[in-house]
Amino acid sequence: MKNARILVVEDDDIIADLIAINLTGQGCQVTQAEDGQAAWDLIGQSAAEFDAILLDRSMPRMDGMTLLGKLRARPETAQVPVILVTAMDDKACILEGLQAGAYYYLTKPLQMELLLVVVRAAVDQSRQYRQVQQSARQTEQALRFLTTATFHYRRLEEVNALAGLLTRLFPQPDRVALGLHELMINAIEHGNLGITYAEKSQLLMEGDLAAELERRQRLPGNADKRVEIRFERTPAAILLTVQDQGEGFAWNAYLEFDPERAFDPHGRGIAIARAMSFDTLEYLGNGNTVRASVVLRDA
């Protein structure tokens, strides 16, 4: 998380300072705002982009949900990971926050160890998204002529370059980028390498995910596994199919935002992809194949 730019929006000075001290200790650059209005004014004035925003829900002048709505409605901030921090932990409030576009949810009193894990995951997500954007811009012009294509990848480090290319095939690349990245990562981690939901949670908490992914990648049974992506442009829509060589999973539980998983450091990628990035998203068969589409509005 070194040099990660974090905006902390919190009206309780003690909590805000505690969060800032812990994040600064991890090498983050922390900016504080006393409420939603102050944060919105700061975002409007500053040319710098934040890697993640920690946002209290209940504040004077402008509350967290109002600010979250403004962030999601603005193209420049629509994809910045927002972590809601609140004392409101009932399922209805959690679901409302997740559906409004919060990527993570933390409750007070805060567990600093979990907060650091969640912030690290959000920063990684933000940086990967920016890498995808940068790669995407370099190939936009030539790709408008492509109608069908098939791609293969095997390792996580190949995802950003390929995702950057694929997003330029869509009319709104920034909208598609995050969801596509999540589907591609899932196909390796949970598909070909067989990491379960519970295993990933534990590995994230212990900081061992990268090492375990590399270990499993080298196993004889995984060495030749590939993920296939099929692209098709029709007059009415763009279709994308991602198929891994894993055993599949119980995908139904992950299509919607689930308050039961709101406090986990991962687990919202599929729901985010379905709600924010694509017009349709469906899993086929045993779950090792996902098909997503974007409707061409001027078709």
Q: What is the pLDDT of residue 104?
A: 85
Identify which of 274, 273, 293, 291 has the alpha carbon closest to the alpha carbon of residue 129: 273
DSSP track, 148-200: EEEEEE-SGGGHHHHHHHHHTTSSSHHHHHHHHHHHHHHIIIIIIS---HHHH
Q: What is the pLDDT of residue 299?
A: 52
Q: What are the structure tokens assigned to 228, written together?
A: 């296939």
Q: What are the structure tokens assigned to 212, written together?
A: 């375990």
Q: What is the pLDDT of residue 191?
A: 95
pLDDT along the chain (299 residues), means of 10: 91 92 93 93 76 91 91 85 85 83 85 91 85 66 81 92 88 89 94 94 91 94 94 95 94 86 82 92 95 86
| 234: three-class secondary structure by DSSP | coil
Domains of the chain: 5-126 (3.40.50.2300), 138-295 (3.30.565.10)
Q: What are the structure tokens assigned to 92, written together?
A: 């209805």
Q: What is the pLDDT of residue 199?
A: 94
